[in-house]
Chains A and B, each alone.
Chain A
């Protein structure tokens, strides 16, 4: 393989990853007494993201964090939940270590002009150790909901935070 080809491959891979990173960023991490006290993850969108069946079981967010024993506050925010089908109900579920902990629902009667931001908050007791916090939306369909819908000139956001509030 020539040097030019190798460099081209490296640049293409790096460019792709840079593009991905500008969309998905782990941007905040505060540690307290040796454990992760607050973690924020945020994704940024300039165009709509549709949650389609083709995406499979890939969650919206997944955070692995070491906690102290106590209570952890978990929240998920999306700047616009856009139903795209009539008479459809969607569920957003929070999983901790693979176990469903809490869910919220969003209805779509007409499947258009029913947009709105969504904030989910939940407190969960955890033991000391590493835990996996996941947010996922169901059902996925060919006409997947917009999470978020956004227009050019605006900034759609989708974020998840995990905060140790009692340790």
Chain B
């Protein structure tokens, strides 16, 4: 029993150490203790696409893949990045409705934002999506889609008298 158990104990100790190391590494990474190597200076790249709408854009979408409303193509060097989409006046058009806006990177859903409407009257407001993460070097297609909007949302509600903004921006920290 003893002879047999010795190698087992050694293997289990090794497994424990490996497991403990993996656990510690994961914990450290999740807590931000492991820091990327420092750079002497940083560069910021910004791609910005701006739409000013002078007429309401009413979108009805019952589920993914939704209707694209804003697209930008970036050619990055890779690194930490932030993507922001902002719309000036999202308006629910019917009671008890909700709208999911999806942010897609190279056709993959990265983030969703939800906007609700109880009465469908005087519940409009600005809306947006923010995603942070690492972008790989190379070309990326970033797209905003209305994935679900029940019986309809104005994205945005706009008029010639009151034009409304719709912005999509990619910021890459080299």
Q: Are A80 and B80 in contact (CB under 8 A)?
A: no
Q: Which residues of chain A in 18-44 are interfacial with respect to chain B, using CB atoms and an 8 Å cutoff? A: 18, 20-21, 24-34, 36-42
Which residues on the B side are within 8 Å of A159 (C-beta)? 130-132
Q: Are A113 and B116 in contact (CB under 8 A)?
A: yes
B69 on interface, CB distance cutoff 8 Å: no
Q: Are B30 and A21 in contact (CB under 8 A)?
A: yes
B49 on interface, CB distance cutoff 8 Å: no
Assuming A27-B133, A38-B173, A119-B130, is B22 touching A112 (CB within 8 A)? no
Q: Are A114 and B27 in contact (CB under 8 A)?
A: no
Q: Which of A21, A28, A63 is the one whose CB lies under 8 Å from B132? A: A28
B32 on interface, CB distance cutoff 8 Å: yes
Q: Which of B9, B19, B42, B98 is the one whose CB lies under 8 Å from A30? A: B42
Separation of A32 and B36 alpha carbons in the complex (Å):
11
Q: Which of A26, A37, A116 is the one whose CB lies under 8 Å from B32? A: A26
Separation of A83 and B15 alpha carbons in the complex (Å):
47
Q: Are B113 and A117 in contact (CB under 8 A)?
A: yes
A110 on interface, CB distance cutoff 8 Å: yes
Q: Are B116 and A37 in contact (CB under 8 A)?
A: no
Q: Which residues of chain B in 1-47 are interfacial with respect to chain A, using CB atoms and an 8 Å cutoff? A: 8-9, 11-12, 15-16, 19-20, 22-23, 26-27, 29-32, 35-36, 38-42
B96 on interface, CB distance cutoff 8 Å: yes
**A29, A116, A149 pick with most chain B CB within 10 angstroms:** A116
Separation of A144 and B14 alpha carbons in the complex (Å):
45
Q: Which of A2-10, A52-60, A90-98, A123-131 contacts B (4 or more CB under 8 A)?
A: A2-10
B114 on interface, CB distance cutoff 8 Å: yes
Q: Are A32 and B41 in contact (CB under 8 A)?
A: yes
Q: Are B36 and A157 in contact (CB under 8 A)?
A: no
B166 on interface, CB distance cutoff 8 Å: no
B163 on interface, CB distance cutoff 8 Å: no
B102 on interface, CB distance cutoff 8 Å: yes
Q: Are A112 and B132 in contact (CB under 8 A)?
A: no
Separation of A63 and B8 alpha carbons in the complex (Å):
42
Say how far A125's CB is from chain B's closest CB, in angstroms: 21
Assuming A14-B23, A21-B29, A30-B173, is B35 touching A110 (CB within 8 A)? no
Report the nearest B residue to A34, measured CB to CB: B38
**A33, A117, A161 pick with most chain B CB within 10 angstroms:** A117
Which residues on the B side are within 8 Å of A10 (C-beta)? 15-16, 19-20, 23
Q: A3-B12, A109-B118 are in contact. List 11 more A-B contacts (CB 8 A).
A: A7-B12, A7-B19, A10-B16, A26-B32, A37-B42, A64-B32, A117-B129, A150-B114, A154-B100, A155-B109, A156-B112
List 5 A-B pairs, minimum CB-CB distance, nearest first. Answer: A28-B80, A10-B19, A3-B12, A115-B116, A154-B112
Can you list 20 A-B pairs, Cβ within 8 angstroms, ordered by A?
A: A3-B9, A10-B19, A11-B19, A14-B19, A14-B22, A17-B27, A21-B30, A26-B31, A28-B81, A30-B80, A33-B40, A34-B38, A40-B82, A40-B133, A82-B114, A117-B128, A151-B114, A154-B147, A156-B114, A157-B111
